Amino acid sequence: MILDAPRAATRFLTRIPVPGQDSTVEDLRNVAPWFPLVGLIIGCACVAVDRATQALPPEVANALILGTGVVISGALHLDALMDSVDGLSAEKRSERLELTRTSVHTGMGLLVGFTSLLLSWQSLNALEGSLRSSVLLLTPVIGRSCIVLLYRLAPIHMTAGSVTQSLRRSAASSTSVMILTLIAGATTFVLGPALTSLITISCGLCLAAMIRLAHHYGGFTGDHFGAVGIVGETLMLIVAAVALPSRWVM
């Protein structure tokens, strides 16, 4: 059915109770192109929380907005970011994958995860005006679009699991190209060409650095691909807060 792939993507990336059984590797063979749609669902929830908490102090409301994204996603990509930093902080190359896959985070991993949330919160505190809702809506979409692009462009590690390999194949589909093109057009229409260009350049530099890193370390695993989602979201919020009429609250 036409909705099987979007439902599987939602089950895979969120804690939303979607009808059906847990996704198998076979179910995930077509889901990567639909990652941005899941981001749109999360973005809608963030906008709803933003509207519902307007009576609260901005700092509290923005913390609740970030918390909404973390709860809906089950901290999937935030955990992937911390796992990736855990592995990169290993002194020996042979220990990197082992540290990446452990369930206990190192101090460096926790620090980077906390820093990404702090930067996002600070950016939201500075972000106001008519485009605030649009930025909140599109930020999770852009983050998950970065994941799809990295799947298309970066090599995967020889030890990567079947899920990562399946997602890599589905990200290379024509459906993926079509959806990413539509997102690019919609983002330009909503945010304007200037801000969209700044976001594109920032995320492009991030992707280029990640691809170079992937080649250096012999390819990425699933955690590395997930980490770029949080990095992309944080970059978009920072760029939007700096580029749009805003105020930085210390």
Residue 105, pLDDT score: 78
pTM for this model (two decimals): 0.90
**Residue 25 within any structural domain of the chain:** no
Residue 1, pLDDT score: 60
Cα distances (angstroms) measured from residue 189 to each of 134, 221, 238, 241: 11, 34, 20, 19
Residue 249, pLDDT score: 42
Phi, psi of 8 (to 5 degrees): -65, -40
Q: Which of 225, 209, 220 is nearest to 35 (CA)?
A: 225
Please tell me the total count of domains within the chain. Answer: 1
How far apart, in whole angstroms, are the C-alpha atoms of residue 77 and residue 82?
Answer: 9
How far apart, in whole angstroms, are the C-alpha atoms of residue 185 and residue 169?
Answer: 24
Please give the structure tokens belonging to residue 223. Answer: 């955690």
Residue 250, pLDDT score: 38
How far apart, in whole angstroms, are the C-alpha atoms of residue 225 and residue 77?
Answer: 9
**Residue 16 within any structural domain of the chain:** no
**Residue 159 within any structural domain of the chain:** yes
**Residue 10 within any structural domain of the chain:** no
How far apart, in whole angstroms, are the C-alpha atoms of residue 19 and residue 8?
Answer: 10
Residue 248, pLDDT score: 42
- What are the residue ranges of helices labelled H in the chain? 4-13, 35-52, 58-73, 76-88, 93-101, 107-126, 132-153, 162-171, 174-191, 193-216, 222-243
Length of the chain: 250
**Residue 26 within any structural domain of the chain:** no
Q: Which domain holds residue 69?
A: 34-243
**Residue 4 within any structural domain of the chain:** no
pLDDT in tens, the chain (250 residues): 667 788 889 989 999 888 766 666 666 778 999 999 999 999 999 999 999 999 999 999 999 999 999 999 999 899 889 888 877 766 666 666 666 667 677 788 889 999 999 999 999 999 988 889 999 999 999 999 999 999 999 998 888 888 888 888 889 888 899 999 999 999 999 999 999 999 999 999 999 999 998 887 788 888 889 999 999 999 999 999 998 865 444 3
